[in-house]
Structure 1
Amino acid sequence: EEAYFMTAIISEEDKKATVKGTTLPDGEVRITYITPSLNLRQHQKATESFTLYLGPRDLYILKALNKKLEKAINFGWFDIIAKPLLVTLRFFNKHLANYGLSIILLTIIIKILFWPLTHKSYQSMKEMRKLQPMMAKIREKYKGNKQEMQKQLMGLYKTYKINPMGGCLPMIVQIPVFFALFRVLPNSIELRHAPFVLWINDLSAPDRLFSFPFQIPFMAPPYGIPVLTLIMGASMFLQQKMTPTPGDPAQAKMMMLLPIVFTFLFINFPSGLVLYWLVNNVLSIAQQYRINRQVG
């Protein structure tokens, strides 16, 4: 459980020291605290003061100790995003008393912040669909010359001021948030054994309905039905059906495969992360429905 608990020895005099761990033959672990050597005269005494911490990797507790112990909580490259997300989740949970509901509320807020960008992206994909007849003619005309085909297509995009990768932008801009949550959810003691509803009793672990005694391909133990993950995959499929098809056939094929890829990918992810992506998909579907009605 080293992801949730830690041991720290801190010198009170800010001296350099090292800690050495040794595993004994009987399986016990011996911890040795080593300080710089001292030169003492006869009958002279020296006292070394230090603080020993054995407890949870709780950001607030470690900050309260004022020993720079909060540095022990590091979420890697996405630390600058992950810690504010963790603080926000704790704040929401203080009022909602449920980390699942806190994740849903956080997802809604993130979606609102990204609304202008995703709205523009969806509009761009709508415009791209209108150009498909012209794009088909260009591909047919220059099918023997790939370089000229790409040049003509890029000229068409420039003329109509369309970004050919616009359909991928909503997913790309969320990657930092996704990976930050990927680091936070399974490594924060706040989410350890945090229940949501029904069978989801630990948001830091993969969701499993029932327990099977046999192995399931691509699935890490425990083995069961990943209901939330399957619902998430279905929501991605529905979202793809509602989203205008990209003009580039290769991009369109890639987008259609994403629901399948993500479903297998998310099988072993924390259920809290699956919940975040599912809610995000549902909000995207609602947004796409609204845009489709406006455009007609």
Structure 2
Amino acid sequence: SGLKDYWITLGSGFGVAGTKGYRSHSGPVILKDADRIEIKPAKLKEPKSYTEGLRWVAQEDKYFFSALVPIETPATGRVWRDGSGEVLVGLNVPGGKRRFLLYAGPKDHNRLKGYGVGLEYIIDFGFFSILARPLFWILKFFYKIIGNYGWAIILLTIVVRIPFIPIVNKGQKSMKKLQALQPKMNEVRQKYKKDPQKMQKEMMELYKKYKVNPMSGCLPMLIQIPVFFALYKVLLIAIELRGAPFIFWIHDLSEKDPYYILPIVMGITMFVQQKMTPATGGNPQQQKFMQFMPIIFTFLFLSFPSGLVLYWLVSNLLSIAQQFYVNRRLAKEAAEAASA
């Protein structure tokens, strides 16, 4: 009680071995008001102090964290590197008898929110948090019904795709029309290859005449990007997937597939999807590069958590089913038009 002020610190030697995951932060975190501030240990050159609006300081890894929360008394937070190179985070508080909350454990959102001190903000839902949070709740809701996070991911993927069905259908139809227009487009390219401006003008006239929008195939993909990244983030950070089994050889959805079956099947579905998607011309080098995308993605996904690969695989299967339906419907319409 005779101290003018004192420090309470958290060292970096916290966490569970093997929980420093792909694209997840490990190190100090500060909460100011509702702003989560990450400090990357490798980039910390000088000590940093935080005073106004400070709610807590913490050390985190992918699924676990320790936090110090000042109760009633304002405190100053500080992050610095000690003589041994270890990055510390702590609170500087006035002398006397003070109350603190010390939490050390998993990033369980419901439990953390129950403390009422903002500890739930340790869970980083990313840039698209406005989408990621409801997706997180839907995932947990499905788990309560089914009791298996693998099937919950499959259901969530289906639910997420439903609102985009009309947009994707329209884009796929437009790409099919664009494919049918390729011979005329090639004629224009050949005829005006020495006059790019005239070629562009004739191309626009061609699109207008046959009511084709060359960008409509890209629009569905662009609209889905925020949802994809939001769901990607949820599956990447959710501690609920840690140790959660799916079926057969998948015993932990937060870990990579031990036999690489899911990423290989995912790569095959990408190849099938690519073959079913109408070719719309364009740069030959770009088309050649795109042919290697299934192989590139397969190798990339070998080390990804099984839950993420499962989401991508199911999403590809849904795209294949939708493309099959569109191709079959357009072929039927073309046959009816030819026989009329």
Give the TM-score normalised by the residue count of structure 1. 0.82
Moved more, 241-250 or 13-22: 13-22
1:54 pairs with 2:101: no
Correspondent of 1:81 among 131, 152, 170: 131
State the 1:82 CA deviation: 1.8
Structure 1 partner of 2:77: 18
State the 1:21 CA deviation: 7.5
Structure 2 letter corresponding to 1:90: K
Contact 1:100 1:203 in 2 (8 A): yes
Contact 1:193 1:203 in 2 (8 A): yes
State the 1:84 CA deviation: 1.7
State the 1:164 CA deviation: 1.4
Measure the CA separation in 2 of the matches of 1:130 and 1:20: 62
State the 1:229 CA deviation: 0.9
Measure the CA separation in 1 of the matches of 2:62 and 2:195: 55
What is the DSSP-based 3-state SS (H/G/I as helix, E as strand, rest coil) of the residue aligned with 1:190? Answer: helix
After superposition, give the CA deviation of every residue in 1:27-85 in whole Å (9 maximum; x if it has no partner): 999875421x45xxxxxxx4211111112111111111111111111122122222221
Structure 2 partner of 1:235: 269
Contact 1:20 1:33 in 2 (8 A): no
Root-mean-square deviation (Å): 2.5
Contact 1:132 1:247 in 2 (8 A): yes
Measure the CA separation in 2 of the matches of 1:239 and 1:13: 58
Moved more, 10-19 or 84-93: 10-19
- Runs of at least 5 residues in structure 2 that lack an aligned partner in the other structure: 1-18, 20-60, 332-340
State the 1:266 CA deviation: 2.0
Structure 1 letter corresponding to 2:126: G
135 and 256 in structure 1: CA distance in 2 versus 1, 3 angstrom threshold: same
Structure 1 letter corresponding to 2:200: Q
After superposition, give the CA deviation of every residue in 1:226-274 in whole Å (9 maximum; x if it has no partner): 2211111111111121222114354654543432332233222222111
Structure 2 letter corresponding to 1:246: T
Measure the CA separation in 1 of the matches of 2:211 and 2:297: 31
Contact 2:79 2:87 in 1 (8 A): no
Measure the CA separation in 2 of the matches of 1:263 and 1:111: 22
Measure the CA separation in 2 of the matches of 1:172 and 1:261: 21
Structure 2 letter corresponding to 1:10: V
31 and 149 in structure 1: CA distance in 2 versus 1, 3 angstrom threshold: closer
1:192 pairs with 2:242: yes
Structure 1 partner of 2:336: none
Correspondent of 1:273 among 308, 319, 324: 308
What is the DSSP-based 3-state SS (H/G/I as helix, E as strand, rest coil) of the residue aligned with 1:47? Answer: coil
Measure the CA separation in 1 of the matches of 2:196 and 2:99: 73
Contact 2:236 2:308 in 1 (8 A): no
State the 1:191 CA deviation: 1.1
Structure 1 partner of 2:175: 125
Structure 2 partner of 1:262: 297
User: Taking every aligned residue pair, what percent have the same amino acid on both sides?
Assistant: 50
Measure the CA separation in 1 of the matches of 2:81 and 2:275: 58
State the 1:22 CA deviation: 7.3
Measure the CA separation in 2 of the matches of 1:11 and 1:60: 21
Structure 1 letter corresponding to 2:115: L
What is the DSSP-based 3-state SS (H/G/I as helix, E as strand, rest coil) of the residue aligned with 1:77? Answer: coil
254 and 163 in structure 1: CA distance in 2 versus 1, 3 angstrom threshold: farther
Higher relative helix content: 1
| Equivalent runs, 1:67-146 vs 2, <5 Å | 67-146=117-196
Moved more, 8-17 or 247-256: 247-256
11 and 200 in structure 1: CA distance in 2 versus 1, 3 angstrom threshold: same
Higher relative strand content: 2
Correspondent of 1:208 among 241, 258, 268: 258
Measure the CA separation in 2 of the matches of 1:166 and 1:208: 39
Moved more, 122-131 or 16-25: 16-25
71 and 252 in structure 1: CA distance in 2 versus 1, 3 angstrom threshold: same
Contact 2:75 2:91 in 1 (8 A): no
